[in-house]
Amino acid sequence: MCGATEGGVSLEGVDVAKESVIQGVVKRDDQPVAGAYVRLLDRSGEFTAEVPTSATGHFRFFAAPGEWTVRTLAPRADVVDRTVVAQQGVVAEVAVAI
């Protein structure tokens, strides 16, 4: 199974201690944005994954430890890049404002 589920795969049943999770919410004027596209870029800027945000604006990735860039594309908005550091066993939270 390989489902780019809106918002990302649920953490239910996932052993978070073994994962380096990056997650967050995309907002416009403080309101969550559904259907934005959030992509995860590695240290070299290469694409690693992409998910559309959920109805509540959420997204989630299962990365490896290290520095990553979260890039957000949404209708009628400029591209927004945020850097984030992932660590194994930690859920790194990123807030994106577009």
Partner 1 sequence: MSRETTLVNADWVQQHLDDPKVVLVEVDEDTNAYDKGHLKGAIKLDWTKDLQDQVRRDFVSKAEFERLLSERGVANDDTVVLYGGNNNWFAAYAYWYFKLYGHDDVKLLDGGRKKWELESRELTEELPKREQTSYTAKEQDKNIRAFRDEVEQAIGAKNLVDVRSPDEFAGRLLAPAHLPQEQAQRAGHIPTAANVPWSKAANDDGTFKSDDELKKIYTDAGLDWGKDTIAYCRIGERSSHTWFVLHELLGEQNVKNYDGSWTEWGSLVGVPVVLGDEPGEA
Among 64, 67, 89, 95, the residue binding partner 1 under the rule CB under 8 A is: 64
- Residue by residue, DSSP assigns 28-91 as ETTEE-TT-EEEEE-TTS-EEEEEE--TTSEEEEEE-SEEEEEEEE-TTS--EEEEEEE-TT-E
Which amino acid would we find at residue 56? T
When asked if residue 52 is in the footprint of partner 1 (CB under 8 A), the reply is yes
Q: Which range, of 5-13, 24-32, 89-97, touches partner 1 by CB under 8 A?
A: 5-13
Q: Which residues contact partner 1 by CB under 8 A?
A: 1-6, 8-9, 14-15, 18-20, 22, 35, 37, 39-40, 42, 44, 46-52, 60-64, 71, 73-76, 79
